[in-house]
Amino acid sequence: MAINRTSSHGEWSSRTAFILAATGSAVGLGNIWKFPYIAGENGGGAFVIIYILCVLFIGIPIMLSEVYLGKRGRLNPIASINYISEKENRSNKWQIIGFIGILAGILILSYYSVIAGWTMAYGARTAFGVINDIDAAGAALMFTEFISDPERLLAWHTIFSIITIIVVSRGVKSGLESAVTRLMPALLVLLIALVIYSSIEGDFYNGIRFMLYPDFSQITWKTVLVAMGQAFFSLSLGMGALMVYGSYLSEKISIPQTCVIVASLDTLVALLAGLAIFPIVISSGLEMTQGPGLIFQTLTVAFGAMPGGQLFGTLFFILLIFAAWTSSISLIEPMIIWIIEKYNLTRIKAAAIAGGMAWLLGIGTIVSFNLGSEVKFFNMTFFELLDYITSNILLPLGGILISIYVSWLVSKDSINAELQIKSKILKLIWYISARVIAPIAVIFVMLNALGIDINILR
């Protein structure tokens, strides 16, 4: 079948547009909501160092491979891989990578949208002055009351889902480029302002010490593996999001540099979020290990106390909602393009189907914070289970398959042509990382995810 391989979804207007879109996908709740709370739960400094190593040696090599697949395949994730496999005489079973990605995207979106809903609710509370002068105990109580009300959570989840569906049904690129161009820099500026506030009002010394001073005695293999899962999540790796964005890349653009820029921006935002949050956690006597509520409680205390906090906090939450929204688009997009290309449906219908599925599943997450908080699967609530299956199983599995497929099974000529890594040393580093280091490291994540205790290296 002859496929028109350039017109099916068009191209980014420039390299910068791709960088912005990929950064829009990467930077989101993962950096600002999830990174601080899992770093907090896993002891701080040593976790942060391991996280950075994972980004460098596992994340970036896999990212190159993933963008390569999209750029060469130029279709939805499943069809792209089938196209490449046909050209390279490889089995069509590799399309499983695409299926894993599409599934992971919808599963993540289902709870991502619930948390994005929390962000909207807190934005509204901040705007209306509800949190003015709130103390740490008040913030903790407010959060507990908030998540124990399923109707409220459902309402916000529904609003966020509808916005996402409306936006993606109009096509990803119109709007996304310009939104990201303006809003990402603004988010960065606000985050830096928050770090400055935190350095003045918070316990900056102990906050930074918590975040940067590595206490390796706290580290177990489990911690290493959680850090790795977070690297996948935060960089949007292993599920086809970057593959889809890569498929809009024009032929001329070189992949490696772009990937390094995206990964650096993503890591910068996560670290700034940590620098902003931890000092306030300490100075206000909140717990580092309180889990998903960490930023909501910490930020309300900070915005409630800071001069102009009502305005500043509202702006901050609005920008965070936008960051979550640009990430959600990339979570849902692989499934949408797949439905459009495979079943010939309109974009609007595809968006409604994919978004509807995520919305429905999201109800499970909502209930796991209140009515169903006692319902456990392998000792985890429904939300924790979903997070576990996606971050610790599906994304790493997708990532390892992508890395192996590209670095072992695709012809070197094609890789050289698309990746255009000029320096021989860098090329060697990429090959070693993608072929050996990343797959082996990721296997540890998988073993851990399956509950196998790895004692050999301890």
Binding site for ligand PHE (CB under 6 A): 25-26, 28-31, 108, 233-234, 236, 239, 241, 327, 330-331
d(Cα 201, Cα 225) in Å, to the nearest integer? 34
Q: Which of 364, 398, 439 lies closest to 96 in space, CA to CA?
A: 398
> Hey, CA dihedral for 255, 260, 261, 266, is it positive or negative?
positive
Q: Which is nearer to ligand PHE, 260 or 454 (CB)?
A: 260
Q: Cα–Cα distance between 179 and 170 in angstroms, integer?
A: 14
Q: What are phi and psi of 380, to 5 degrees?
A: -125, 150
- In the complex, least distance from residue 147 CB atom to ligand PHE, rounded to whole angstroms: 20
- Residue 110 C-beta: closest distance to ligand PHE, Å: 12
Give least dist CB 270 to ligand PHE, A.
Answer: 8
C-beta of 241 vs 286, nearer to ligand PHE: 241
Q: 122 vs 233, which CB is nearer to ligand PHE?
A: 233
In DSSP notation, 395-455 reads HHHHHHHHHHIIIIIS-HHHHHHHH---SHHHHHHHHHIIIIIHHHHHHHHHHHHTT----
CB of 34 to ligand PHE, least distance (A): 7
Closer of 239 and 321 to ligand PHE (Cβ)? 239
- Residue 26 vs 194, nearer CB to ligand PHE: 26
Query: Quick one: 214 exposed, middle or buried, by C-beta within 10 A (0-12, 13-18, 19+)?
Result: middle
Contact 106, 354 (CB under 8 A): yes
CB of 208 or CB of 320, closer to ligand PHE: 320
Three-point CA angle 348, 354, 357, nearest 5°: 135
Report in angstroms how near the CB of residue 305 gets to ligand PHE at its nearest: 27
Tokens, residue 275? 């620098």
Phi-psi region at 291: left, alpha or beta (left = phi > 0; alpha = psi -120 to 50) = left
How far from the centroid of its chain's Cα atoms is residue 180's Cα? Answer: 16
Q: Between the CA of residue 45 and those of 42, 92, 148, 412, what are the distances in Å?
A: 9, 43, 32, 39
| Nearest distance in Å: CB 55, ligand PHE | 12
Residue count (the chain): 458
Instruction: With CA atoms as reference, report the closest residue to 213 among 39, 37, 48.
Output: 48
Name the residue with the smallest CB distance to ligand PHE: 30
Is-contact 266 235, C-beta < 8 A? yes
Q: CA-to-CA distance for 296 and 313, rounded, in angstroms? A: 11
Q: Which of 188, 145, 196 is nearest to 306 (CA)?
A: 196
CB of 129 to ligand PHE, least distance (A): 28
> In terms of CB distance, is 26 or 275 closer to ligand PHE?
26
Nearer to ligand PHE, 30 or 279 (CB): 30
Min. distance of Cβ 264 from ligand PHE in angstroms?
A: 14
To ligand PHE, the closest distance from the beta carbon of 412 in angstroms equals 29
The distance of closest approach from Cβ of residue 99 to ligand PHE in the complex, given in angstroms and rounded to an integer, is 15
Question: For ligand PHE, which is the closer residue by CB, 31 or 119?
Answer: 31
Cβ distance to ligand PHE smaller for residue 23 or 85: 23
Name which of 136 and 241 has its Cβ closer to ligand PHE.
241
Task: Quote the DSSP letter at residue 380.
Answer: B
Taking the complex as a whole, the smallest distance from the CB of residue 319 to ligand PHE amounts, in Å, to 13
Q: Are 60 and 260 in contact, with CB atoms under 8 Å apart?
A: yes
Residue 164 or 330 with smaller CB distance to ligand PHE = 330
**Dihedral pair phi/psi, residue 185, rounded to 5°:** -60, -35
Distance CA(142)–CA(137), nearest Å, equals 9
Please tell me what DSSP assigns to residue 8.
Answer: T
Shortest separation between residue 231's beta carbon and ligand PHE, angstroms: 10
Q: Assess contact for 110 and 361: CB atoms under 8 A.
A: yes
